[in-house]
Amino acid sequence: MPCRPNLPDRAALALVLRRLFIGIVAAIFIAWMPATLHAQNPVADPLAASAYRMAGDATRMRVVIEFDREPSLKWFLLRAPHRLVIDLPATAFGFDAKALDPRGLVTEVRYGNLGDGRSRIILASDGPFAVEKLAVRKNEDGAGHRMMLDLVAASERQFEQAMADLARANGSTIAPDKRDRLITAQRDADRKFTIVLDPGHGGIDGGAEGVRGTAEKDLTLSFCQELHAALEKTGRYRVFMTRTEDVFLRLDERVRIARQHEADLFISVHADSIRYRNIRGATVYTFSEQASDEIARAAVIRENLADSLAGIENPEKSQQVTDILVDLVRRETLGFSVSFARALVDRLDETIEMIKNPHRSGAYRVLRAPDVPSVLVELGYLSNPKDEAQLLDVDWRKRAVGSLIEAIASYAAMVGGARG
């Protein structure tokens, strides 16, 4: 792996971890390409698939299917729409129709018999995904086996790559070389630094409201549009927005958009409100399980409320990733998020009013992408009349945009070197 000699150790480690992460999905494909699984005698005694369960959100789903014995299965991917196809020997399905209701990444579940002693289950999604894990395990109580499947939101390019790899593997009994797959799964070296801007709230979720009646959702959208235009003007970045109009977007959908674009940086923009009217100034937040302080704790509750407003329950805790490599990547990503947050605080501090201790942290759901450095910027407090007036001031916004651009440039230069 080419490594620049002047890299700090931490950056070199980050590079290795990032490549490992890209490789995890590819490696799992190899491990679970079940070329060695052979069809049972299906006609006499069909396999019984007794239960189907799934849980998760738009960024990550776990699917579990119960079988009366070890199923021999094969799977592949189809596009338009993005689908995962699981082929089984003749199977008697006993699924509860309710359990198949669309949820998170999975927009449709279909199954049936193809005749010829073959059956099939198809999971469809409205966007690209990666099969992070597909495994068959013996149930601990000895009764039957279960198939466990983890799907994660991915980019179009990653989906295409997985399809190509599967097609190659199907045509051969020899698994493709792991090293080769790690290399081909990488991003283009000359791809531009990619930023996803996330205007907070939208649609039925108006966010905070200013003393003069300014809606947070409108302010965040116009600020992001101005930042978007300024970033485009530099010609140095690919820039996307999670929303470009007044529409409601769930928090996990925002994270999913960042993953679909393989973003190098995700910036969620907000303008908070607080009981204490004299508190004012901008804050930059990064993710932490525990809130850094009382103000952060209250802000997290307000910002995470968006999904409840739309009647969406909290996603299950079981969706937390336990894979040690993913965990390492997550930690490394957080390191990058913190680096950017510090750069941003430094720049904003020169041009606009900041709160005391302007870098804070909390368990924001919109900052949960394991591999996309993410920050949430509260531009100011709509509950403070001075802040509200500034947020509506064109010159003030120009200065804030200028600081963001400078912070992004210095951060992109830093990680550009680290990526090698």
Interface with Zn ion by CB under 5 A: which residues? 200, 207, 270, 303
Nearer of residues 256 and 270 to Zn ion, judged by Cβ: 270
Bridge partner residues of 89 (DSSP): 118
Nearer of residues 56 and 200 to Zn ion, judged by Cβ: 200
Nearer of residues 46 and 207 to Zn ion, judged by Cβ: 207
- Residue 62 burial (CB count, 10 A): 18
For residue 229, the minimal CB distance to Zn ion (Å) is 22
Nearer of residues 252 and 303 to Zn ion, judged by Cβ: 303
Q: Note if the bond before 71 is cis, omega within 30 degrees.
A: no
Nearer of residues 11 and 257 to Zn ion, judged by Cβ: 257
For residue 221, the minimal CB distance to Zn ion (Å) is 12
For residue 371, the minimal CB distance to Zn ion (Å) is 24
CA angle at 263 for the pair 259 and 267, rounded to the nearest 5°: 100
- Residue 36 burial (CB count, 10 A): 7
For residue 184, the minimal CB distance to Zn ion (Å) is 40
Nearer of residues 170 and 314 to Zn ion, judged by Cβ: 314
DSSP 155-179: -HHHHHHHHHHHHHHHT-SSPPPHH
Spell out the residues 6+ positions from residue 112 whose beta carbon is closer than 8 angstroms to its own.
93, 119, 120
Say how far apart CA 74 and CA 38 lie, in whole Å: 10
Contact at 8 Å (CB) between 165 and 181?
A: yes
Say how far apart CA 420 and CA 415 lie, in whole Å: 9
For residue 356, the minimal CB distance to Zn ion (Å) is 20
Which has the closest alpha carbon to 137: 224, 66, 192, 51? 66
Nearer of residues 215 and 415 to Zn ion, judged by Cβ: 215
- For β-strands 74-78 and 82-89, DSSP reports them as antiparallel
For residue 137, the minimal CB distance to Zn ion (Å) is 42
Say how far apart CA 359 and CA 377 lie, in whole Å: 10
Q: Which residue is nearest to Zn ion (CB)?
A: 270
For residue 23, the minimal CB distance to Zn ion (Å) is 36
- Residue 290 burial (CB count, 10 A): 10
